[in-house]
Amino acid sequence: MDQVESNPTIPVKALQEQLQKKYGVGFSIHKVFRAKAYAKIIVVGDYKKQYEVLRDYILELQSTNPDTTVKLELGDVSESNLVNCTSRCFKRIYVCLGGMKKGFKACLRDFLGLDGAHMKGPYPGLILNAVGLDSNNGIYPLAYAIIEIENCESWKWFLECLGDDLDLHAMSNFTFVSDRQKGLLQAVSQLFPCAKHRFCLRHIHENMKKQWRTKEYKDHLRDCATATTVTEFNHFMHQFSLYDKSAYEWLKSIPPQHWAKSHFTGRATTDMLLNNICEVFNGKLVDGRDKPIISCLECNKKRVGPLTPTATKIMEKNEAAATQYIAEWCGDEKYQVKGPWNDQHVVDMHERVCICRKWELIGIPCRHVISVLYNKADHGEGVHELHTYVHKVHWLQTWKTAYGYKVEPIKGRALWPRSECPMQITPPLHRNQPGRPKRKRRQSMEEKSQSKSQSQSQRSDVGPSEIHGHGPHGSGKLTRKFVSVACSKCGNKGHNSRTCKGQGGT
């Protein structure tokens, strides 16, 4: 148990060698395999029995973390239990910890990323996550759920639970970003018709690569998406139409308010184009997706860690660039700002906007605004400190307030309060799928091409004798075919230590 608890992924062969050295007794590989499986059940938990104590876990979670929302739904009563009604099948569960709920509201950002990941254990299901941004542009997990299947109904149930916790209604001006999962678009449009829904630019590019693969298409897509004004957006879209008319028509079919900065509003105080916040959080859950339900929920409960460090870096960069600009007063708090390369913008300090829209989108003064503040200070006008022109989202005090709410630990299972509900929870129905269960994440086309190019570059750095060790067609996989093996005993090539017959004379 100690070895499995310290290293759950220890190979059976290594565990067998450790046990034989420790006890001086031989163990068969099959016996060690069964012992490891039994020890893993004790350490991690039993998949079936954890459903039986799920209500006790909920009571303990709510008692240690006040204002925590947990919603548990069970399936219909099975035909075998119509008379006794002693058990019901698990369907879905939603968890929003009280500390995370208060901290997210303190972040002052009406912005959430939505994503899902498949469970890897013996029982099917998906983990849905809602992840926000803190004041330092770091991930801030808000809520999570385990559902039976990904469709419009399950996403509506998850979003309804979120709406109750965040006091959202049909007219709420909120912003979501997602990868356009199955059923999510319909759920958001039905529950929050006034909300802004951004599409992850990376997944748009993945769909584009199915027909147009070269780097030039990616560059055109990036230029169109990162343009902050409608004029720039139209210019880059026109350039894209001249490059490839069919690709331009395909991209034009996606409304720009879902993927282009020029059509974003400043409500969310972020110009994020990717759903990386959810991808990063899902990466933290890889080890928990194949665990029993309570152990999986505990993995989700773990937190990811004048101005915040990120905002300070952006301000310092803008301050350095502002020295190359000259601001001219045009009356009524309006300024004309000129810079290198015919860069000319208009800043309205009364409305607190710049036509480049960067101040409006992310809440941090751009180089043009800082140049205007320098001009006002030079002419003796009252100018506050620079950080006061930054949105409160990026203030260090806001960051501290958000993380002032803590997630309290829970006691061991023996000390949990006992649920008085007589209905027993059973695992969801499951049919074993053919083949070995997949544990690794499926790579996208871009990731496969990158790994292939890296393997080919590594091949160019090795000798001719080592190149034969790679698989066919430049796959990058190592094989033992045509590899000259050196013996560790005699040092000669052509055989290993197990088949050595003393050819070296030592």
Task: Give the number of other CB atoms < 10 A from CB of residue 226.
Answer: 16
Rounded CA separation 46/432 (Å): 18
Predicted pLDDT of residue 9:
78
Cβ–Cβ < 8 Å for 116, 150: yes
Going by their DSSP bridges, the two strands 424-426 and 87-96 should be labelled as parallel
For tokens 């006061």, what's the residue? Answer: 388
What is residue 75's predicted lDDT score, i.e. its pLDDT?
A: 82
Q: Against a cut of 0.85, is the pTM above it?
A: no
Q: Are 200 and 275 in contact (CB under 8 A)?
A: yes
Task: Give the pLDDT confidence score for residue 192 in this predicted structure.
Answer: 95
- Please name the residue that has the structure tokens 């000390």: 415
Which has the closest alpha carbon to 177: 143, 202, 146?
Answer: 202
Tokens of 481: 């075919």
pLDDT for the residue 305? 45
Order across the sheet with 343-348: list the strands: 326-329, 334-339, 343-348, 353-354
Please, what are the averages of pLDDT over each run of 10 residues along the chain (506 residues)? 77 87 87 86 76 90 92 74 69 93 92 90 85 91 92 94 93 92 91 94 92 93 95 96 95 95 92 89 72 75 69 92 93 92 92 94 95 92 90 90 86 87 84 70 70 66 44 46 75 83 62
> In terms of Cα–Cα distance, which of 272, 204, 282, 214 is closest to 243?
214
Per-residue model confidence (pLDDT) at position 287: 66
Could you report how far apart the first and last alpha carbons of the chain are, in Å?
A: 43
Domain boundaries, the chain: 2-44, 51-200+274-305+405-415, 309-394, 455-499
